[in-house]
Amino acid sequence: MLTGRQGWVGPGLLVAAGIGIWSTGNWVFFILVGRLLGPRDYGLVAAVLSGCLVLYVLCSALQPTLAASNRGDPPDAIFALALRITAIATVVVMAIGVAVMLLLGITTTGFPTAVMLGAVTVLSGIAVFPLTLGQLQGERRFGAYALGFITVGIARPLAFLALWAVGVRVLAPILGTSVSWILGSIVVIVLARKALRAPPIDRTSHQWHAFRRSIVPNSAGVTAIAVLTNADVITAKLVLSGREAGYFAAASAISQGLFLVPQVFTTLVLPRLASQRARGQSSARLIAAGVGVSLAAGTVFVVLATPLGRQLMRVTYGPAFRSAGDLLPYYGAAMTCMGCTIILLYHQLGRHDFRYSWCLLCIAGVQVAALALFARSPNAIITIDLICALGAIAAHEVVTRRDQERVIDGLRLSAVLVGRRSRPDPPSEPNSG
């Protein structure tokens, strides 16, 4: 088990490498899709994949729920039962999805039946994958955890290119995404196979009931994050021209690379939060450090994107997307604050305090309403993102005020410790004897 004495450098590098390769693979994937499809078709594909991502993030609630379900110990018995239920539920939901899409295709003129049926295939791995990651995270096997992300990150662009090479066009990015999630699920299940040998937990046990009770508020929180970070791309497709929507989606793909820092941090911290909660210890300093690192990374991005945004988009997506570079500094600032919100949410989930999840869900509802009423330009959409992210950060400080688990509390504790360490030792008394 990872402890403070052993440090986080090794596990941190493993997780950073895994999520870094995964993020890079996603960037390469979206860049290839944008270059090959062009801004107009790219806007459609990005909107469909954003919808799929919302569903994935909803299912990703299984990961922190499982990882923090056993007070920091490996949750083998819970995983053994949860995986069986998740696999059955996936098949049922996919069957319902196919039936609904076929019905809409028959009854709705112009409905993109083939595209939406392709989107249903993405469901095959979006629940099993995060659940199994939660098992590996609970075991503190961060190398295996990272390998799951690496598999998805590498497979996604390669599967897209393979499908494109055999003549598949608009469906290629959607089916390529499905293939990558299926492969990732297979890899992590193989890596976690020892846990499946454990007898499934008794459905009447306290631990199983606690796990089940945690799923709903966890889902509320991560669904809110999914809406907060993806509703803008979907809105852009609905209210902007096809070309502008493509520019916006490309800027989103680049700016959301800032989520790498929150993802690495929460992966390492979540099991530690569970064990600290069991011992009654404060985690305010941990969360202040995570927010500080995220803000520093975002500041660097915004400073560099201000003069170099157009060049970055030209090099990555091609000359057709050069105008999207003007959105990067403002979008980067909004996504930096969203990244801090991700850290704050997982801080509360690790502590089994679900009040913040419901706050975020309310803020996500406000965001959707604001987008519907006021989103008429790219900058207006980003402004709504930024206001909602700042509101979410403020809500965390209000919710955790009495618990002394605010970011400001962590900063004060850190300042006190730094002050103590900087004080010189008092001189020793002379020996009068």
- Residue length, the chain? 433
CB atoms within 10 A of CB 354: 17
Read off the pLDDT of residues 212-262 as tens digits, 9 standing for 90 and up: 888 888 889 988 998 999 899 999 989 998 889 999 999 999 998 899 888
Half-sphere exposure of 36 (CA within 13 A, CB side): 20
pLDDT at 1: 38
pLDDT at 4: 41
- In percent, the amount of the chain with pLDDT more than 70 equals 89
CB atoms within 10 A of CB 398: 12
Comparing C-alpha atoms, which of 361, 388, 386, 281 is closest to residue 61? 361
Tell whether the model's pLDDT for residue 419 goes beyond 80: no
pLDDT at 216: 87
Q: How high does pLDDT run on average in the chain? A: 87
Tell whether the model's pLDDT for residue 50 goes beyond 60: yes
Tell whether the model's pLDDT for residue 431 goes beyond 70: no
Which value, to the nearest 10 degrees, does the dihedral of the CA atoms of residues 233, 349, 392, 244 take? Answer: -10
Tell whether the model's pLDDT for residue 189 goes beyond 80: yes
Comparing C-alpha atoms, which of 399, 62, 400 is closest to residue 216? 62
Mean pLDDT over residues 374-388, rounded?
96
Query: Which of helix, strand or coil describes residue 111?
Result: coil
Q: How confident is the model at residue 148 (pLDDT cuts 50, 70, 90)?
A: very high
CA distance 218 to 57: 11
Helices 242-255/328-350 angle, 10° precision: 50
pLDDT at 46: 83
pLDDT at 386: 97
pLDDT at 271: 61
Tokens of 394: 């403020």
Read off the pLDDT of residues 107-119 as tens digits, 9 standing for 90 and up: 998 888 998 999 9
CB atoms within 10 A of CB 394: 12
Tell whether the model's pLDDT for residue 417 goes beyond 60: yes
Tell whether the model's pLDDT for residue 3 goes beyond 50: no
CA distance 48 to 174: 8
CA 355 to chain CA centroid, nearest Å? 20
pLDDT at 6: 44
Read off the pLDDT of residues 281-340 as tens digits, 9 standing for 90 and up: 677 788 888 899 999 999 999 999 999 999 999 999 989 999 999 999 999 999 999 999
Tell whether the model's pLDDT for residue 432 goes beyond 60: no
74 neighbors 274 (Cβ within 8 angstroms)? no
Q: Which residues contact 394 (CB under 8 A, 6 or more apart)?
A: none
pLDDT at 326: 96
Q: How confident is the model at residue 411 (pLDDT cuts 50, 70, 90)?
A: confident
What is the DSSP code (8-state) at residue 372? H
Mean pLDDT over residues 174-181, rounded?
96
pLDDT at 424: 61
CA distances from 265 to 261, 268, 422 (A): 6, 5, 28
15 neighbors 141 (Cβ within 8 angstroms)? no
Read off the pLDDT of residues 65-99 as tens digits, 9 standing for 90 and up: 888 776 556 688 999 999 999 999 999 999 999 99
CA distance 119 to 6: 44
Q: Which residues contact 347 (CB under 8 A, 6 or more apart)?
A: 269, 273, 283, 286, 287, 290, 396, 405
Tell whether the model's pLDDT for residue 209 goes beyond 70: yes
CA distance 215 to 105: 33
